């Protein structure tokens, strides 16, 4: 631990090794992984360890013993923090604590609960734990120090519980549904605890779960059978900026309830996680960002708790001597009786502090985890991080022996010092004003975002059924025919209807766009970018409304719809900036010769978009063409003309000149050939199926009479994307990632996972877990935030997917087919389907289905898995779940896909961060949202001027670079 703390790189690698160790099978695998992990940081290891690693054989007697010693070492490390693996061990551990006059609270370390079967099993284990501990506790002699306070006897059996372990679909986006489901499983636990006189304390997990946890806590304790129960508590985390308000609300609520509850005050164990998630999503950090702020808040909240100790019974959980001393002093100032404040610490930590507090007559309770190493890994890693963190009191106090003045310093003084230092630091790191930043996704764990979405859904529901004519040259154009847009979640509900362009209107739109090109091409790039930025701004303002339209028109779940709107905003901001970058001419001058290289727009672009990202893809292709100075005829998918009409509104509101963008809903077969074949069309940007994409390529290759150019065709087509899972993978994460990638938005993404290739040794256990987890996935209408899988887009898609499933039954084993219940007649639903045991060449493993259908295949080794993954005509997305650095490296090199994801889901690419697009028959190899994308909409031009006049060459720097472009 000491070596590790000195070297952050080594610490990261060793913690990663500890994380993968329980999953490794055999001595060879252990040694091999250890070498892989410490390889890059070898130089940081003590010489002796380095020497051992150099000469260590992987197999044979020595290798086996080494693997054993390694496992023993990690096991010992785990046993320092996890008291026992079985009931006998638990009894021994808690009885030992009691002999030392220490109380306990027992925690059952839990695996990630991904399925309802797992949640039920967890509940059962808890019930057994309470029963067995209470039986055993009958024989425990009462110790007044730990079993009594000034109110009377205290529960001897005390348990801690994480609510997310009780419901596999625990999700703050649906607080009411989550609360109902969790309470269902919590009630028997509370009932038994109450009957047997045990105390149950709810732990607090990540910030996203905080409000729903507090809600469940309050709701269950308002139920009649628990409304006067006092042996119950909850955790408040002082590192959260919200914590003071939460505590205040809890106290008001407890006063109203009329019976006190316990509050365990902690600083919080997920600081690294919270700051990373906030940074990734561009959300404000919910936690304080300096340690003294957390410490100072802890002291403030301690004061609050002591002032309200009659309704919120205080448990001060800290290993920080300053925080503990503050609580002792604050209790003394208030003349509170000894025992009215309880001190709590974690098993295996700060053992030096317990006897001191016991000697002072204070009650100390030890949080005592039990369970196996594998499910306990997340807990173990949190403890290792805590013990080795630069900011940790334990490290400073007990390992580095920092001076007392520093350890016991008032955090408020440190905050003042920090504020000056961080103000200086910030000034140097502000982002450049023109820097692109992804639009943050909405955080639906926040009440404000949920309320805004509910309101938008209601508002949009009142506008369903309207009509949307074509817009050509800024004029509304009525057509004889109509396209009716239907809500796939409720197929009797009409979302709206649009005009239905015919061939004449298609031609008219191209001609108008051609006329508008004359003005738009000479509009400066900055000006074009400014209009696109205005579009982004309008979409930001209309964000929830646009998302609500997507929910109704394309059956997108809340998060999916929200992400689609955010992506559309990103494209407008990104391509505008990209064009400003590209509009600076490149100069390569030599004496007497001026050379300039710059880009000019091409002309009229036709954008043909799919329905599955109804705003983002249409807006992305269109805004790229516009940023580059081309004019556009937008042809949205037949299934999503209403959202496209909304996009047209946005362009108009932003001040796009008439004719620069035209809205041309129509049926592909009717107007597609007229648009693609039109001699005045220069660019066709298409995203959709392979068959249509290739047909467009073929048609565009013709040069009809009157056409004076070669058309540029940008096609993004399908995929048959694979996720490889190897034996070192974290199975929880792998199953979760595969389910999200395969069944999110009912698999209707070109990036979706439709094949999972699993190494033979874990194939069966992976498949069993996958099926179990998929059973728990909720299917339902898109407006219901609890549903993860919604409908497929229309009747035709449904029939096609059902045919593929039928065919699949002939070539593979159907491992799982979800039951639809009453939904079958409501909309176009198809439940998740999982097939296994097929040959890699079977059609179910080769053909794109575009629905919630997953093929799981077995591979004997990684080489075979990569071979299977690459063995389709597609190359779009792909992924691997592995904790073997060597395997990850090999997949990086050999897996032929446009977007490769490692240890995460394979959908959800972000503009600029993960430019998106495939090759082979998935597309032409370009990347939407990346630095090369706009080049396809532009023509590079070189101008060379001889500046030598009668032997006189003007100095180049004196010559103005001149305006680029046309």
**Stretch of residues binding ligand FDA (CB under 6 A), selected from 32-40, 284-292, 413-421, 619-627:** 284-292
| Residue listed under structure tokens 């036709």 | 606
User: Residue 211, interface with ligand FDA (CB under 6 A)?
Assistant: no
Q: How far is the CB of 954 from ligand FDA (least distance, A)?
A: 59
Distance between start and end Cα atoms, the chain: 65
User: If binding means CB under 6 A, how many residues of this protein chain bind ligand FDA?
Assistant: 33
Q: How far is the CB of 299 from ligand FDA (least distance, A)?
A: 11
User: CA–CA distance from 21 to each of 81, 537, 599, 882 (Å)?
Assistant: 17, 49, 55, 12
Q: Minimum CB separation from ligand FDA for residue 11, in Å?
A: 15
**Rounded to an integer, what distance in angstroms lies between the CA atom of residue 129 and that of residue 110?**
14
Q: Applying CB under 6 A, which of residues 270, 379, 599, 835 lies at the interface with ligand FDA?
A: 270
Closest CA to 637 of 610, 618, 599: 610
Distance from C-alpha of 792 to C-alpha of 850, rounded to nearest angstrom: 9
Tell which residue, 386, 373, 317, has the closest CA to residue 84.
Answer: 373
CB of 349 to ligand FDA, least distance (A): 7
> Helix H segments across 462-557?
503-520, 525-541, 543-554
Nearer to ligand FDA, 106 or 692 (CB): 106
Nearer to ligand FDA, 385 or 786 (CB): 385
Nearest to 267 by CA among 233, 230, 239, 301: 239
Judged by beta carbon, residue 317 or residue 531, the one nearer ligand FDA is 317
- The span of 387-395, 516-524, 525-533, 931-939 binding ligand FDA (CB under 6 A) equals 387-395
Q: What number of other Cβ atoms are within 10 A of residue 281's Cβ?
A: 13
Among 308, 319, 559, 720, the residue binding ligand FDA under the rule CB under 6 A is 319
Residue 478 tokens, joined: 């009525």
> Could you tell me if 729 and 767 are in contact, meaning their C-beta atoms sit under 8 angstroms apart?
no
Say whether residue 274 binds ligand FDA (CB under 6 A).
no
271 binding ligand FDA? (CB under 6 A)? yes
Give me the least distance between CB of 217 and ligand FDA, in Å please: 12
Query: Which is nearer to ligand FDA, 291 or 313 (by Cβ)?
Result: 291
Among 203, 342, 727, 848, indicate the residue that binds ligand FDA (CB under 6 A).
203
State the burial class of residue 833 (Cβ atoms within 10 Å of its Cβ: 0-12, 13-18, 19+): buried
Q: Which residue's CB is nearer to ligand FDA, number 292 or number 918? A: 292
The region of 109-117, 392-400, 499-507, 750-758 touching ligand FDA under the rule CB under 6 A is 392-400
Min. distance of Cβ 160 from ligand FDA in angstroms? 7
Quickly list DSSP for 740-755.
HHHHGGGG-STT-EEE
Q: Select the span of 127-135, 266-274, 450-458, 508-516 touching ligand FDA (CB under 6 A).
A: 266-274
Tell the smallest beta-carbon distance from residue 386 to ligand FDA (Å): 6
Q: If we measure between CA atoms, which residue out of 837, 833, 779, 791 comes closest to residue 812?
A: 837
782 binds ligand FDA (CB under 6 A): no
Query: Between 396 and 786, whose beta carbon lies closer to ligand FDA?
Result: 396
d(CA 136, CA 157): 10
List 33, 98, 218, 267, residue binding ligand FDA (CB under 6 A): 267
Binding status of residue 326 toward ligand FDA by CB under 6 A: no
Residue given tokens 């250890």 in the structure block: 34
Q: Alpha carbon of 68 to those of 21, 30, 54, 64, 920: distances in Å?
A: 11, 9, 18, 6, 47
- Tell me the closest approach of the beta carbon of residue 669 to ligand FDA, in angstroms: 58
Q: Whose Cβ is closer to ligand FDA: residue 323's or residue 612's?
A: 323
Q: Which is nearer to ligand FDA, 4 or 327 (CB)?
A: 327
Kindly indicate which of the ranges 242-250, 389-397, 494-502, 593-601 contains the residues binding ligand FDA, using the contact rule CB under 6 A: 389-397
User: For ligand FDA, which residue of 290, 340, 843, 947 counts as binding (CB under 6 A)?
Assistant: 290
Compute the Cα dihedral for 809, 811, 813, 817 and give only its sign: negative
Alpha helix (H) residue ranges in 812-958: 862-870, 885-894
Q: How many residues does the chain have?
A: 966
By CB under 6 A, name the one of 294, 362, 715, 774 that touches ligand FDA.
294
- In angstroms, what CA-CA distances link 433 with 216, 319, 422, 429, 436? 44, 44, 21, 12, 9
Q: Is 393 in the site for ligand FDA (CB under 6 A)?
A: yes
In the complex with ligand FDA, the residue whose CB is nearer, 228 or 272, is: 272
For residue 219, the Cα-to-chain-centroid distance in whole angstroms is: 29
| DSSP assigned state of 856 | E
Binds ligand FDA by CB under 6 A, chosen from 123, 158, 213, 323: 323
Both structure tokens of 10: 């080594």
Give yes or no for residue 711 binding ligand FDA (CB under 6 A): no
Out of 37, 81, 207, 367, which residue is the one contacting ligand FDA (CB under 6 A)?
A: 367
Stretch that binds ligand FDA, among 341-349, 693-701, 768-776, 938-946 (CB under 6 A): 341-349
**What tokens were used for 264?**
């365990």
Nearer to ligand FDA, 420 or 590 (CB): 420
Q: Does 217 bind ligand FDA (CB under 6 A)?
A: no
- The secondary structure element, H or E, covering residue 248 is helix 243-257
Q: Report the C-alpha gap between 322 and 333 in whole angstroms.
A: 16
Closer CB to ligand FDA, residue 305 or residue 346?
A: 346
Report the catalytic residues: 716, 750
Task: Using the minimum distance from each CB to ligand FDA, give the nearer residue, 267 or 712.
Answer: 267
Residue 86 Cβ, how far from ligand FDA at the closest point, in Å?
22
368 binds ligand FDA (CB under 6 A): no
Q: Give min distance, CB of 208 to ligand FDA, in A.
A: 13
Out of 134, 204, 569, 856, the only residue in the binding site for ligand FDA (CB under 6 A) is 204
**Phi and psi at residue 307, to the nearest 5°:** -70, -20
**Among positions 20, 155, 236, 269, the unique one binding ligand FDA when judged by CB under 6 A:** 269
Beta-strand relationship, 833-836 and 813-817: antiparallel
Applying CB under 6 A, among 211, 289, 653, 689 the residue interacting with ligand FDA is 289
Burial of 486 (C-beta count, 10 Å sphere; 0-12/13-18/19+): buried
Distance CA 873, CA 282 (A): 37
- 346 in contact with ligand FDA (CB under 6 A): yes
**Least distance from C-beta 329 to ligand FDA, angstroms?**
16
Q: From the list 20, 254, 345, 855, which residue makes contact with ligand FDA (rule: CB under 6 A)? A: 345
Q: Which is nearer to ligand FDA, 160 or 836 (CB)?
A: 160
In whole angstroms, give the CA distance from residue 147 to residue 143. Answer: 5
Of 237, 630, 721, 887, the one binding ligand FDA (CB under 6 A) is 237
Looking up tokens 């902690």 gives 266
Distance (Å) of CA 903 to CA 30, 32, 537, 731, 894: 20, 20, 34, 11, 17
User: Six-digit token pair at 703?
Assistant: 């040069």
Other Cβ atoms within 10 Å of 326 Cβ, number? 22
Q: Which residues contact 705 (CB under 8 A, 6 or more apart)?
A: 679
- Tell me: does residue 884 bind ligand FDA (CB under 6 A): no
What is the bridge-based pairing of β-strands 593-601 and 938-946?
A: antiparallel
CB of 292: closest distance to ligand FDA in angstroms? 8
Distance CA 504, CA 466 (A): 25
Decide if residue 243 touches ligand FDA (CB under 6 A).
no
Q: How far is the CB of 947 from ligand FDA (least distance, A)?
A: 60
| Residues at the contact surface with ligand FDA, assessed by CB under 6 A | 203-204, 235, 237, 239, 264, 266-271, 287-291, 293-294, 317-320, 323, 344-346, 367, 386, 391-394
């Amino acid at each position: 631990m000491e070596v590790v703390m000195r070297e952050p790189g080594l610490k990261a690698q060793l913690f990663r090794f500890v994380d993968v160790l329980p999953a490794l099978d055999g001595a060879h695998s252990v040694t091999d992984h250890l070498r892989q992990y410490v390889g890059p940081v070898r130089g940081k290891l003590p010489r002796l360890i380095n020497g051992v690693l150099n000469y260590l054989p992987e197999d044979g007697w020595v290798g086996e013993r080494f693997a054993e010693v390694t496992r023993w070492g990690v096991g010992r490390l785990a046993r320092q923090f996890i008291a026992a693996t079985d009931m006998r061990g638990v009894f021994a551990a808690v009885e030992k604590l009691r002999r030392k006059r220490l109380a306990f609270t027992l925690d059952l370390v839990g695996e990630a609960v991904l399925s309802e079967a797992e949640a039920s099993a967890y509940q059962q284990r808890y019930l057994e734990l309470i029963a067995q501990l209470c039986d055993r506790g009958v024989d425990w002699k009462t110790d007044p120090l730990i079993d009594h306070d000034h109110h009377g006897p205290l529960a001897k059996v005390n348990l801690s519980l994480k609510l997310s372990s009780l419901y596999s679909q625990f999700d703050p986006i649906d607080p009411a549904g989550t609360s109902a489901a969790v309470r269902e499983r919590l009630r028997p636990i509370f009932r038994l605890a109450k009957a047997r006189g045990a105390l149950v304390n709810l732990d607090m997990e990540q910030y996203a779960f905080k409000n729903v946890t507090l809600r469940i806590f309050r709701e269950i304790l308002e139920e009649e059978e628990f409304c006067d129960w006092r042996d119950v508590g909850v955790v408040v985390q002082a590192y959260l900026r919200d914590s003071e308000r939460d505590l205040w609300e809890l106290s008001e609520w407890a006063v109203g309830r009329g019976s006190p509850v316990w509050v365990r005050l902690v600083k919080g164990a997920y600081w690294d996680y919270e700051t990373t998630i906030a940074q990734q999503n561009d959300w404000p950090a919910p936690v304080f960002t300096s340690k003294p702020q957390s410490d100072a808040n802890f002291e403030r909240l301690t004061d609050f708790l002591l002032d309200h100790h009659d309704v919120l019974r205080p448990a001060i959980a800290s290993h920080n001597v300053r925080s503990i001393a503050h609580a002792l002093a604050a209790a003394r100032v208030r003349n509170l009786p000894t025992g009215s404040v309880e001190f709590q610490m974690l098993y295996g930590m700060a053992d030096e502090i317990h006897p001191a507090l016991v000697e002072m007559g204070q009650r100390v309770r030890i949080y005592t985890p039990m369970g196996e190493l594998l499910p306990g890994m997340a807990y173990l890693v949190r403890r290792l991080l805590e013990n080795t963190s630069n900011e940790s009191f334990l490290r400073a106090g007990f390992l580095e022996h920092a001076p007392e003045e520093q350890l016991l310093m008032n955090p408020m003084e440190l905050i003042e010092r920090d504020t000056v230092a961080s103000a200086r630091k910030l000034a140097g790191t502000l982002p450049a004003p023109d820097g692109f930043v992804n639009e943050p996704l909405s955080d639906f764990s926040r009440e404000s975002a949920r309320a805004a979405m509910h309101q938008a859904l209601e508002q949009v529901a009142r506008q369903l059924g309207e009509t949307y004519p074509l817009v050509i040259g800024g004029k509304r154009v009525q057509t004889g025919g109509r396209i009716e847009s239907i809500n796939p979640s409720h197929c009797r509900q009409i979302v709206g209807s649009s005009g239905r362009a015919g061939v004449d209107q298609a031609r008219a739109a191209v001609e108008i766009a051609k006329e508008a090109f004359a003005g738009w091409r000479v509009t400066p790039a900055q000006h074009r970018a400014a209009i696109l930025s205005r579009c982004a701004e309008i979409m930001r303002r209309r964000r929830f409304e646009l998302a609500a339209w997507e929910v109704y028109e394309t059956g997108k779940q809340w998060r999916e719809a929200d992400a689609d709107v955010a992506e559309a905003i990103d494209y407008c901001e990104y391509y505008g900036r990209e064009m400003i970058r590209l509009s600076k001419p490149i100069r390569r001058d030599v004496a007497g010769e001026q050379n300039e290289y710059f880009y000019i727009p091409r002309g009229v672009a036709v954008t043909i978009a799919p329905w599955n990202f109804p705003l983002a893809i249409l807006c992305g292709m269109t805004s790229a063409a516009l940023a580059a100075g081309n004019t556009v005829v937008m042809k949205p998918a037949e299934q999503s003309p209403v959202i496209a009409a909304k996009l047209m509104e946005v362009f108009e509101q932003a001040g796009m000149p008439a004719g620069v963008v035209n809205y041309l809903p129509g049926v592909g077969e009717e107007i597609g050939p007229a648009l693609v074949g039109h001699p005045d069309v220069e660019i066709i940007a298409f995203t959709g199926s392979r068959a249509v994409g290739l047909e467009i390529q073929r048609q565009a290759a013709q040069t009809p009479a009157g056409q004076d150019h070669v058309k540029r065709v940008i096609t993004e087509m399908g995929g048959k994307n694979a996720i490889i899972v190897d034996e070192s993978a974290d199975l929880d994460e792998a199953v979760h990632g595969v389910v999200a990638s395969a069944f999110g938005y009912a698999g209707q993404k070109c990036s979706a996972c439709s094949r999972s290739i699993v190494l033979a040794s874990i194939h069966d256990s992976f498949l069993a877990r996958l099926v179990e987890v998929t059973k728990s996935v909720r299917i339902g209408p898109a407006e219901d935030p609890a549903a993860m899988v919604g409908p497929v887009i229309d009747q035709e898609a449904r029939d096609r997917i059902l045919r593929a499933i039928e065919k699949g039954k002939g070539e593979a084993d159907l491992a799982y087919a979800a039951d639809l219940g009453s939904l079958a007649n409501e909309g176009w639903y198809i439940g998740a389907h999982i097939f296994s045991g097929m040959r890699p060449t079977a059609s179910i493993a080769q053909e794109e289905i575009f629905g919630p259908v997953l093929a799981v295949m077995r591979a004997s080794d990684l080489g075979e898995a990569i071979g299977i993954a690459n063995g389709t005509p597609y190359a779009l997305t792909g992924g691997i779940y592995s904790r073997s650095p060597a395997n990850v490296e090999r997949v990086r090199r050999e897996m032929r896909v446009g977007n490769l994801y490692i240890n995460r889901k394979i959908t959800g690419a972000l503009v600029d961060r993960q430019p998106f697009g495939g090759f082979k028959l998935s597309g032409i190899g370009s990347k939407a949202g990346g630095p090369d994308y706009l080049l396809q909409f532009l023509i590079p031009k070189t101008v060379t001027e001889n500046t030598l006049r009668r032997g006189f060459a003007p100095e180049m720097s004196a010559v103005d670079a001149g305006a680029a472009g046309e």
